[in-house]
């Protein structure tokens, strides 16, 4: 009997060793020689193993090494799965990096450890306890935004964390790093270990206490406050029952109302009534953006005040500048930063359920963003609109469902379904609503129908119909139709390729300030597509589009400065534009930036 057990254990060992070796051979992850690590120090213990800090090859570069108490088929399967998941999200700055695997050989056993990015700030719970008094609310906003962005990234990749709590949220250089992805929970479930559900009550959907539920769009968000009363209670069945019955932490005094408004909306017991993670990201970004703008304004005004007494003539001039700056700032708030803003009287009116006016305003600024070529920002702007004007988006959505008598309300309902605003994304429903609206000669809808046919969203892909709808919009002399029709001619979508027609259409759209069209013209000049090569024109157009905030233009402009293509080589300016692009999440720009800064 004993010999049979030994033989079975040997078979299992050989099997999971083969899995790891195969994963290394296929370069799923990098293999590190254990003897190249030094100064190995134990820094923590979890439910399934220990964590060590170590230096690599006598350098100051530090890694975290994660060991496991028991390595068997189940554990190794989950480790390999974890590494594969890691590869899908490794690009994100707020997700802990897994560099690879190492092997510690002892007593004829192969102990495989994960080689991870080291988080010098420890986990979030410890970090808040040690640094809470040092953190401003701006710091907290940014950390909450970073965490939300990390979760949003997982959802975009179809990944559910399954074990999200403060000990799996790490901090490196004061920046949030999401970790684990539920590895420990999956190992426990697969190994038939007892799940410690009540150890992570604050991060569990309250409905999970009464029935199992997997809803990757649900959000649970708390105050990031060490004084939160819910954390001081024992995590037991009584607390779980209280939460399931509506008990929540008491809002901590002096917490800004704008933040309270966000995280308390995430407390609703019914998942469908909670905001999506994408809404939370957009709301937090809106707060941070406003803070940055206001800070910049006060910095400028303070500089002017410091120079106030330099001379009487200068004082008069500076006062004039300050007055003009205040006027410009007010205009920027109401027109440029938030084109959706309305007067205080109108704002009060909107809270009185004047949803028809709201539908018209949303339609107008979506149209405007399409004209400018920044339609991708429209979803964010819609969410900001509801937040800034204290409008209940769910009530507005319910109104839309019952008021499908105008082309704008039909279009907005389709748009909400298309982009998953308030409701879950439903391309088929969106497409049918767009078709309904197009019959009422709603020209913006025809543009979206063209996109649906071209991309196969909610309907069968049909290049011919995509071309026809984009042509209808272009014939109305609208830049977003001209841009899309130019794209069809450039790529032969529903029509024979014709670079000259594409160039002509991009030119018309660019004349109306469409940023993508401006960039496309620069690309055509750079590569001699439908026109002779002209680096001067390329530079001019890229510069224009980059100044308007277009990410691809910023990256390509940086590349021109780095390589000296058609212009004087300037690494400083290259870094400047790579930074601009990197801040918008461009991974290539981030890599370029690291490379150039390293060589500086």
Binding residue numbers: 66
Rounded Cα distance between 531 and 528, Å, is: 5
Strand order in the sheet with 62-66: 30-32, 98-106, 109-117, 62-66, 50-56, 37-45
- Residue 24's nearest CA partner among 115, 159, 89, 154 is 115
Q: How many CA atoms lie within 13 A of 581 on its CB side?
A: 28
Strand 175-178, strand 109-117: pairing: unpaired
| DSSP code of residue 522 | H
Rounded Cα distance between 135 and 259, Å, is: 15
**Structure-block tokens of residue 183:** 């590895």
- Compute CA 464 distance to the chain's CA centroid, rounded to the nearest angstrom: 34
Residues 507 and 524 sit within 8 Å (Cβ to Cβ): no
- Residue 375's nearest CA partner among 582, 508, 550, 235 is 550
Rounded Cα distance between 599 and 255, Å, is: 44
Q: Give residues with Cβ within 8 angstroms of 136, minimum separation 6.
A: none
Q: Which residues are annotated as a binding site for ATP?
A: 66
Nearest-Å Rg of the Cα atoms of the chain is 28
Residues 339 and 384 sit within 8 Å (Cβ to Cβ): no
- Residue 360's nearest CA partner among 311, 421, 403 is 403
Rounded Cα distance between 450 and 471, Å, is: 9
- Residue 275's nearest CA partner among 388, 403, 392, 415 is 392
Q: Is 423 helix (H, G, I), strand (E, B) or coil?
A: coil
Q: Give residues with Cβ within 8 angstroms of 166, minimum separation 6.
A: 123, 124, 125, 128
- DSSP secondary structure string for all residues of 339-359: TT---HHHHHHHTTT-HHHHH
Q: How many CA atoms lie within 13 A of 52 on its CB side?
A: 18
- Residue 221's nearest CA partner among 209, 239, 203 is 203
**Structure-block tokens of residue 144:** 């909450």
Q: Give residues with Cβ within 8 angstroms of 269, minimum separation 6.
A: 206, 207, 244, 246
**Structure-block tokens of residue 32:** 């590190």
182: left (phi over 0), alpha (psi -120 to 50) or beta: left
116-138: b (≥16 Cβ within 10 Å) or e: bbbbebbbbeebbeeeeeebeee
């Amino acid at each position: 009997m004993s010999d049979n057990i030994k033989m079975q254990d040997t078979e299992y060992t050989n099997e999971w060793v083969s899995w790891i070796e195969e994963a290394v051979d296929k370069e799923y992850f990098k293999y590190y020689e254990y003897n190249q690590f030094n100064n190995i120090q134990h820094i923590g213990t979890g439910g399934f193993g220990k964590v060590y800090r170590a230096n690599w090859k006598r350098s100051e570069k530090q890694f975290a090494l994660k060991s496991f108490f028991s390595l068997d088929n189940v554990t190794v399967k989950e480790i390999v799965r974890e590494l594969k998941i890691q590869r899908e999200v490794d690009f994100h700055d707020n997700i802990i990096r897994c560099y690879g695997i190492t092997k510690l050989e002892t007593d004829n056993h192969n102990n495989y450890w994960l080689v991870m990015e080291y988080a010098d700030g420890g986990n979030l719970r410890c970090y808040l306890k040690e640094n809470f008094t040092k953190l401003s609310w701006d710091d907290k906003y940014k950390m909450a935004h970073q965490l939300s962005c990390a979760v949003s990234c997982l959802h975009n990749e179809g990944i559910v964390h399954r074990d999200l709590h403060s000990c799996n949220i790490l901090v490196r250089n004061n920046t949030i790093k999401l970790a684990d992805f539920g590895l420990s929970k999956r190992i426990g479930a697969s190994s038939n270990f007892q799940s410690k559900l009540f150890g992570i009550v604050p991060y569990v959907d309250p409905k999970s206490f009464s029935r199992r539920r997997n809803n990757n769009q649900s959000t649970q968000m708390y105050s990031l406050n060490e004084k939160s009363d819910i954390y001081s209670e024992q995590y037991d069945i009584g607390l779980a029952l209280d939460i399931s019955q509506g008990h929540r932490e008491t809002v901590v005094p002096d917490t800004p109302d704008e933040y309270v408004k966000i995280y308390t909306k995430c407390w609703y017991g019914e998942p469908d009534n909670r905001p999506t993670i994408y809404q939370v990201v957009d709301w937090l970004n809106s707060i941070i953006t406003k803070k940055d703008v206001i800070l910049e304004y006060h910095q400028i005004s303070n500089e002017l005040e410091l120079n106030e007494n330099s001379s009487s003539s200068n004082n008069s001039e500076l006062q004039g500048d300050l007055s003009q700056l205040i006027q410009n700032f007010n205009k920027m708030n109401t027109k440029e930063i938030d084109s959706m803003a309305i007067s205080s009287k109108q704002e009060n009116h909107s809270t009185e359920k004047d949803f028809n006016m709201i539908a018209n305003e949303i339609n107008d600024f979506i149209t405007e963003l399409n004209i400018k070529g920044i339609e991708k920002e429209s979803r964010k702007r819609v969410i900001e609109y509801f937040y800034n004007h204290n409008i209940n988006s769910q009530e507005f959505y319910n109104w839309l469902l019952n008021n499908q008598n105008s082309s704008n309300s039909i279009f907005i309902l389709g748009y909400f379904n298309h982009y998953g605003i308030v409701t879950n994304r439903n391309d088929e429903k969106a497409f049918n609503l767009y078709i309904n609206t197009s019959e009422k000669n709603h020209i913006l809808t025809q543009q979206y129908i063209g996109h649906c046919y071209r991309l196969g969203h909610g309907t069968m892909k049909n290049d011919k119909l995509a071309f026809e709808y984009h042509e209808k919009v272009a014939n109305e002399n609208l830049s977003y139709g001209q841009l899309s029709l130019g794209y069809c001619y450039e790529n032969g979508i529903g029509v024979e390729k014709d670079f000259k027609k594409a160039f002509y259409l991009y030119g018309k759209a660019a004349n109306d300030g469409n940023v993508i069209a401006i960039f496309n013209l620069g690309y055509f000049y750079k590569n001699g597509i439908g026109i002779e090569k002209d680096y001067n024109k390329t530079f001019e157009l890229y510069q224009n589009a980059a100044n308007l905030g277009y990410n691809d233009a910023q990256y390509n402009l940086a590349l021109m400065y780095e390589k000296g293509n058609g212009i004087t080589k300037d690494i400083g300016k290259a870094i400047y534009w790579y930074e601009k692009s990197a801040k918008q999440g461009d991974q290539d720009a981030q890599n370029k930036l690291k490379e150039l800064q390293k060589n500086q």
